Amino acid sequence: MDVKPVRVAAISSGKGGVGKTSFSINLAEALSRAGNRVLLMDADFNLANVHLMLGQTPDKTIADVMSGRCSISDTLLPGPASVRVVPGVRGRGLADIGCNSLLSLIQSVDELVGEIDILLLDTAGGFQERDMRLMAAASDVMVMLTPDKVTIADTAEYIRTLRQQYGVQHFNIVTNMVRGQRESSQLMQALQSQVGFDYDLILRHVGTLPYDTAVRKASDSARTWLQTDPDSKVCRGIQAIADAMNQQMRAYYPRGGMTFFFESHILAGGC
């Protein structure tokens, strides 16, 4: 069978409130509009927000999948454009999940292989063992960074930990809530200098999203930024990231093989 490979992009950060969920939803929409079959999974095991931002009321969630009560297809909700959403759980429902449950969640996506081109994971970010393993298992690690001292320091620590303890080498950095390219470049320089020099660690700046009061307001409605304000700079920034990912998909994800999670990275060492 000619199975189309699945690219797994996980969106994370060293610190909360930096725009991961908003970005994940809008990136999913942009990739879907470009003709990709996108699955957006709410993999924030602390405080799932995707369905809230989209105004959805899930019937079944990833908790039902993990406990074997249903399959992943039973959870799917229609998202923006043709995105399909796997909703998560809020509160302590998944507080104690370990690597085995995580692995079974990941493996449950196998039933959709051949039906999706890219799996986007909106994660909790941060230093919890299972969240770090999830990042290590993804084919693309995207890290969101905002311009304040504490976030820069936390992000540098986050990246060093993923590199040193989990072997992640490539980091795609999205600078968010910045006041222009100059601040964005300064932010990248500050991050690079705090991460320190390492031949095998690559920080790639993949896009800049400006601070935008309009999108902040749009977050209160169930509509995405791309729907409410498609010509805004922040939407143009998201579009540029989606275009670049789209081009890479054509170049690096040829038909005929299957790229998926590096499952062994989740179980390595146990957790």
Ligand X SMILES: Nc1ncnc2c1ncn2[C@@H]1O[C@H](COP(=O)(O)OP(=O)(O)O)[C@@H](O)[C@H]1O
Given the rule CB under 6 A, which residues bind ligand X? 13, 16-22, 49, 176-177, 209, 211-212, 215-216, 219, 234
Closest CA relative to residue 29, chosen from 17, 44, 40, 42: 40
Give which of Mg ion, ligand X, none residue 253 binds (C-beta under 5 to 8 Å, depending on kind). none
Residue 148 Cβ, how far from ligand X at the closest point, in Å? 13
- Select 211 or 262, whichever has its Cβ closest to ligand X: 211
Nearest approach, Cβ of residue 115 and ligand X (Å): 27
Binding site partner of 219, from Mg ion, ligand X, none, Cβ cut-off 5-8 A by kind: ligand X
Q: Which is nearer to Mg ion, 144 or 249 (CB)?
A: 144
Specify the pairing of strand 7-12 against strand 140-145: parallel
Half-sphere exposure of 106 (CA within 13 A, CB side): 26
Q: What are phi and psi of 121, to 5 degrees?
A: -115, 120
Q: Which two tokens stand for residue 9?
A: 């992009």
Q: Which is nearer to ligand X, 16 or 93 (CB)?
A: 16
- Out of 49, 61, 172, 239, which residue is the one contacting Mg ion (CB under 5 A)? 49
The least distance separating ligand X from the CB of residue 171, rounded to whole angstroms, comes to: 16
**Residues present in the chain in total:** 271
Interacting positions 3-32 with Mg ion (CB under 5 A): 20-21
Q: How far is the CB of 217 from ligand X (least distance, A)?
A: 8
Task: Please give, one letter per residue, the 3-state secondary structure of 33-71.
Answer: HCCCCEEEEEECCCECCHHHHCCCCCCCCHHHHHCCCCC
Question: Is 15 in a helix, a strand, or coil?
Answer: coil
Residues that bind Mg ion in the complex, under the rule CB under 5 A: 20-21, 49
